[in-house]
């Protein structure tokens, strides 16, 4: 896999994970603040126009933050450093 394909894969997986996190956050927010949202069902809350727009925009904002922080600069070197420096993997 060359660097361009690796960057595309990182970007796609980062966008997908940001989307999943945003949807889970919205579902949590709906169940905690149901009385103040003005929606009666989860589907109505998640699939209104504003929520759909934010489901596209918010993950791209996170990709911009990752890009400007230098996360995608050297994908080949990043892989080893990220895997071995993750606190969950250390004893």
Mean pLDDT over each residue of the chain, to the nearest integer: 80
Q: 0.95 exceeded by the pTM?
A: no
Each residue's pLDDT tens digit, 48-80: 888 889 999 999 999 999 888 887 777 666 555
**pLDDT band at 24; cut points 50, 70, 90:** very high
> Between residues 54 and 83, which one has the greater pLDDT?
54
Q: What are the extents of the domains in the chain?
A: 3-85
pLDDT on residue 87:
55
> What is the Cα 8 distance to its own chain's centre?
15
């Amino acid at each position: 896999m060359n660097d361009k394909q690796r960057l595309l894969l990182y970007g796609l997986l980062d966008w997908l994970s940001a989307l999943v996190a945003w949807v889970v956050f919205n579902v949590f927010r709906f169940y905690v603040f149901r009385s103040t949202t003005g929606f009666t069902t989860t589907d109505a809350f998640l699939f209104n126009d504003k929520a759909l727009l934010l489901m596209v925009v918010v993950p791209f904002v996170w990709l911009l933050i990752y890009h400007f922080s230098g996360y995608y600069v050297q994908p080949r070197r990043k892989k080893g450093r990220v895997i071995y420096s993750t606190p969950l993997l250390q004893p």
